[in-house]
Structure 1
Amino acid sequence: MNDSITIDGSKKIVPYLDTIGALNVLIVDNHKLTCKAYSMLVDEAFKEGYLPKIKTTALNSCREVYEVVTNNSSISFDLILLEIGLPNYPEKDIFNGEDLGKLIRGHWPKSKILVATSLNDDYRLQTILKSLNPEGMVLKNEICEHKLIFAIQKVLSGVPFYSPTVLKVIKNQFIKDNGISFQERKFLYLLSTGVQSKEIPNYLPWSKSKVEKQKRILKEKLGVEEKSAWGLIHQAKKLGII
């Protein structure tokens, strides 16, 4: 029986994966072609002996995942392959894949999360690592299909896996306690929909003076020098916060 796991070398399935049955994997990505490619990839890896049999389910938005998570208590997944930049679901205060990951953690605490994202901003990677503590995290532009399978192998085996940029963030910077709070994310989302600053107290328990104060705080956190709210919104979208 093989005693190690590698795609770079000659050995294949580790004992842990060789002794379990079919796994359920949820693929969450806003691009349907990406979901299909992931599904085909894990199926091929099974045929070649690198992964056990896997049943994949693909969803493309926060709303779809929310409905599955909250309406199907009998369903669970061994692994969630999660993108952060997803169509939001403001009716349920879910503005990105990070919020979705928190929901998943609450309902499926035994599920392992492997974040596979296009985001590459150090600040955003830090906040995602802190809030989700994913079992694995990779940047799409840093991995090939073999490395993705290797990451899935590791995570399913209980071994954390991070791509080079994520490792650099972990090694070189402490994750500071200056993340974006839920109310701040909702504030940014409201601004992005055209809600005026003076109208924010109708949606959040903030005074007008606090609204202006939070604007200044958020601009400092996100490194925005532009005075208009548009600069703040643009940076929040760029970083995948909304």
Structure 2
Amino acid sequence: MNHLLIIEDCPFACEGYKNLLKQEQVFKTKFQLTFANDCDTAIKQIKNGNYDIVILDIQLPVSKNEKYLCGEDLGLLIRNTQPNTKIIVITNISDALRITSIINELKPEGFIIKAKSDPKDLIDAINHILNNKIYYCKAIKKYIASTNMHTMIDDLDRQILHHLSMGEKTKDLCKLIPLSHRAIEDRKRKLTALLDIDNSFNLIKEAKRIGYI
């Protein structure tokens, strides 16, 4: 019996995963399934359970305390509290820079782009992981081959983008994020350069477009 946590806010996707994972002849094992459809529920499940595999969506509702902004933050929580848990990222995000950031931060054992994959990819990913192997879908492999993997936007960068998108002033961010005003300004300049943007308004617009906020 393998304990599997599915963090996904789309009920149709959850139902699809449930039906797929019932196919014992495909996996040659049974799964005990737990579901979470937002960051707050997922935090409770992660803290209260011990999972062999987590299927992790990236674009999720922000936690009430705004500490967890997306699935990437949940993935970091899993890595810190359950280091033996295997993570399969399944997302609609297709921006190469964003994908690079997720791989660098989480180092997931599985990575699937929803729009460019099918149920067989999830079956293959789980079977690979059960055999202690890594599975990335073809689209992810192409991104890896064409992207500088040292480029990374981390959780503090995402917090900066989130609070700016909520209308906070840069000068006030040091009250909300454990960084000095100078460090925040430096990170804003880095983000502006990475996303090839010339001002804060366009920075937030571009960050929303590619799925950072």
Equivalences for residues 24-63 of structure 1 within 5 A: 24-43=3-22, 45-46=23-24, 49-51=25-27, 52-63=29-40
**Aligned-residue CA RMSD in angstroms?**
1.9
Q: Using the TM superposition, give the Cα deviation of residue 130 of structure 1 relative to its aligned residue in structure 2, in angstroms.
A: 0.8
TM-score calculated relative to the size of structure 1: 0.80
Equivalences for residues 1-242 of structure 1 within 5 A: 22-43=1-22, 45-46=23-24, 49-51=25-27, 52-70=29-47, 72=48, 75-89=49-63, 91=65, 93-176=67-150, 178-204=151-177, 205-207=179-181, 211-225=184-198, 227=199, 229-242=200-213
Identify if the C-alpha distance between structure 1 residues 82 and 233 changes in structure 2 by more than 3 Å, giving closer, same or farther: same
How far apart in 2 are the matches of 1:183 and 1:111? 24
Structure 1 residues 18-37: Cα deviation after superposition (integer angstroms, max 9, x where no partner): xxxx2111111111221111
Structure 1 residues 18-74: Cα deviation after superposition (integer angstroms, max 9, x where no partner): xxxx2111111111221111111111x22xx1111112111111111112222x2xx
Identify if the C-alpha distance between structure 1 residues 184 and 160 changes in structure 2 by more than 3 Å, giving closer, same or farther: same
Q: Contact conserved, 1:143 with 1:163, CA < 8 A, in 2?
A: yes
Q: Contact conserved, 2:5 with 2:34, CA < 8 A, in 1?
A: yes
* One-letter identity of the residue aligned with 1:224: I
Identify unmatched segments of 5+ residues in structure 2: none
How far apart in 2 are the matches of 1:214 and 1:102? 20
Structure 1 residues 194-220: Cα deviation after superposition (integer angstroms, max 9, x where no partner): 11233224334433x655544332111
Identify unmatched segments of 5+ residues in structure 1: 1-21
How far apart in 1 are the matches of 2:43 and 2:157? 21
How many residues matched?
A: 211
> What is the percentage of aligned positions where both structures have the same residue?
29
* One-letter identity of the residue aligned with 1:236: A
How far apart in 2 are the matches of 1:30 and 1:106? 23
* One-letter identity of the residue aligned with 2:17: Y
> 1:7 is matched with which residue?
none
Q: Contact conserved, 1:135 with 1:160, CA < 8 A, in 2?
A: yes
SS in 2 for 1:91: coil
Question: For the pair shown, which has the larger CA radius of gyration, 1 or 2?
Answer: 1
4+ residue stretches of structure 1 with deviation over 4 A? 209-213
> 1:3 is matched with which residue?
none
